[in-house]
């Protein structure tokens, strides 16, 4: 893989406070292309934190996992996209009309600003859920089957891809086709600490499985030298993916 492509594939998860997030932004500016801002940081800091990263030249994956009635989700996606975020998430479990509403909200924001439409990807089954948890809410199909059903529904309603574990990336790529975004967390460079992730893959193997983008947090943000850690992952992808 070319170096520029490798940089484009890594999304650095900023699960920290504003001060540390901006510090990491300064360190990784010009090297990393994407940051992921989740609920903890966004609910504390609001749209300003997205704009701060856009101003520093990053693309922003704003991971707020919408799940509400379609009208509300459309408004949420519109508002989220108006912050300048490039990628948004919505729960597949909200079903077809809600998924379509998220895409519509992103489209409205693009029309209002004349900028490119934020992409929308679906959460299928949270990796924190097991078969027992699914059964407790009345889903008796196995996890892979449920994830594939939700991914198919999302694709049919205009969603641009999915978030899934590296283990599911191959099946999702087959199901959704070449153009879909397949974004995988649970990525650990060889030898890195697992933290609370259990189903992990190395960056190169996640890409080989069909991932388009890798969400990587603590192996970069918790490293003594985040720049060195980030560049080591870029090198791994350049050499082996």
Q: Which residues carry out catalysis?
A: 65
CB-based contact 187:201 (threshold 8 Å): yes
- Residue 215 as a binder of ligand C5P (CB under 6 A): the answer is yes
> Looking at 60, 80, 109, 216, which residue binds ligand C5P (CB under 6 A)?
216
Q: Does 162 bind ligand C5P (CB under 6 A)?
A: no
Per CB under 6 A, which region of 91-99, 102-110, 210-218, 226-234 contacts ligand C5P? 210-218
> CB of residue 113 vs ligand C5P: minimum separation in angstroms?
27
Helix (H, G, I), strand (E, B) or coil at 107: helix
Strand-pair category, 87-91 with 10-13:
unpaired
- Please give the residues from 15 up to 74 whose contact with ligand C5P meets the rule CB under 6 A: 15, 36, 38
Tokens of 55: 């101003």
Concatenated DSSP letters for 12-67?
Answer: EE--S-HHHHHHHHHHHTTT--EEEEEHHHHHHHTHHHHHHHHHTT-EEEEEEEE-
What would the x/- binding string for ligand C5P be over residues 107 to 126, using CB under 6 A?
Answer: -------------------x
Q: Say how many C-beta atoms besides its own lie within 10 A of residue 53's C-beta.
A: 23
List of residues contacting ligand C5P (CB under 6 A): 13, 15, 36, 38, 126-127, 163, 185-186, 195, 197, 215-219
């Amino acid at each position: 893989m070319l170096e520029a492509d490798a940089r484009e594939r890594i999304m650095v998860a900023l699960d920290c406070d504003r001060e540390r997030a901006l510090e990491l932004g300064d360190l990784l500016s010009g090297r990393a292309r994407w940051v992921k801002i989740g609920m903890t940081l966004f609910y504390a800091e609001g749209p300003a934190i997205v704009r701060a990263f856009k101003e520093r030249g990053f693309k922003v994956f704003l991971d707020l996992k919408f799940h509400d009635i379609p009208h509300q989700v459309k408004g949420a996606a519109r508002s989220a996209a108006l912050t300048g975020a490039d990628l948004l998430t919505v729960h597949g479990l909200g079903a077809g009309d809600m998924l379509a509403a998220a895409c519509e909200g992103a489209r409205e924001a693009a029309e209002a600003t004349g900028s490119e439409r934020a992409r929308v990807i679906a959460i299928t089954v949270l990796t924190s859920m097991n078969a027992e948890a699914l059964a407790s809410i009345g889903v008796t199909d196995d996890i892979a089957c449920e994830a594939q059903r939700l991914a198919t529904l999302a694709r049919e309603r205009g969603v641009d891809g999915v978030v899934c574990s590296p283990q599911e990336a191959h099946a999702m790529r087959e199901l959704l086709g070449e153009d879909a975004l397949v974004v995988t967390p649970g990525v650990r460079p060889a030898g890195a600490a697992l933290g609370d992730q259990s189903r992990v893959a190395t960056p190169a193997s996640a890409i080989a499985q069909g991932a388009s983008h890798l969400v990587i947090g603590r192996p970069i943000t918790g490293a003594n030298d985040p720049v060195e850690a980030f560049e080591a992952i870029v090198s791994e992808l350049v050499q082996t993916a």
